[in-house]
Chains A and B, each alone.
Chain A
Amino acid sequence: DAKTTQPPSMDCAEGRAANLPCNHSTISGNEYVYWYRQIHSQGPQYIIHGLKNNETNEMASLIITEDRKSSTLILPHATLRDTAVYYCIVRGQGGSEKLVFGKGTKLTVNP
């Protein structure tokens, strides 16, 4: 079972920041938080991951609370192409560790 809880859907205006929350209150010390997104009828796309520090890359920023029980994915300037289902996943360390997908958040970016 997925170890995360996300709102089923969110809306965002084009050009504004999209902040997607995720709860993972049972996360253990060696588990990472991953974010993927899936645009309709495509394979998931990696966005970002982190352990306990905040992370930023060219796609997004990941803010993890100090107690690591929740996190927020930030898309700083959402575009229409960012409309997708966003999955927050907790994954253990190691090459054989699986990605178990929950239901995700359907983000709709509106013009």
Chain B
Amino acid sequence: GAVVSQHPSWVICKSGTSVKIECRSLDFQATTMFWYRQFPKKSLMLMATSNEGSKATYEQGVEKDKFLINHASLTLSTLTVTSAHPEDSSFYICSARDRQGWEKLFFGSGTQLSVL
């Protein structure tokens, strides 16, 4: 299947700093990407939907100024956690849809963020 590369796989940062997570579709063009977060032993929670070249659509309760999403090309979307705090520590996962077919969504391997 299609490959979605997510980087970094884990990151530790100090409280107050910003962290950028990259999500790349390696062998297909992704018109739409989705960002999720997952707390331990919980299910994935959708944070936002990003479409290439336009502003992201955030789910209710997700702060758009806190979680900046950029989808500047058909193969790259980034999530920046600004002024991170310990409560932002979580597993962040991206997902991408092939522009040739909407039916399948492929996921990255996730990024474990730990804010000290």
On whether the beta carbons of B106 and A46 are closer than 8 Å, the reply is: yes
Main secondary structure of the interface of B (DSSP, over half): strand
Q: A41-B91, A44-B93, A104-B43 in contact; A95/B32 too (CB < 8 A)?
A: yes
On whether the beta carbons of B103 and A42 are closer than 8 Å, the reply is: no
Main secondary structure of the interface of A (DSSP, over half): loop
- Tell me which of B1, B31, B44, B102 contacts A46 (CB under 8 A): B1
- Tell me which of A44, A49, A104 contacts B107 (CB under 8 A): A44
On whether the beta carbons of A46 and B104 are closer than 8 Å, the reply is: yes
Q: Does A111 contact B (CB under 8 A)?
A: no
Q: Mark A100-111, 1 if CB is under 8 A from B, else 0.
A: 111110000000
The residues of A with any CB-CB pair to B shorter than 8 Å are 2, 32, 36, 38, 41-46, 49, 87, 93-104
What 10 additional pairs, Cβ within 8 angstroms, besides A44-B107, A98-B34? A43-B95, A49-B104, A87-B43, A94-B102, A95-B31, A95-B32, A95-B99, A97-B102, A103-B43, A104-B43
The residues of B with any CB-CB pair to A shorter than 8 Å are 1, 4, 6, 31-32, 34, 36, 43-46, 49, 51, 91, 93, 95, 97, 99, 102-110, 112
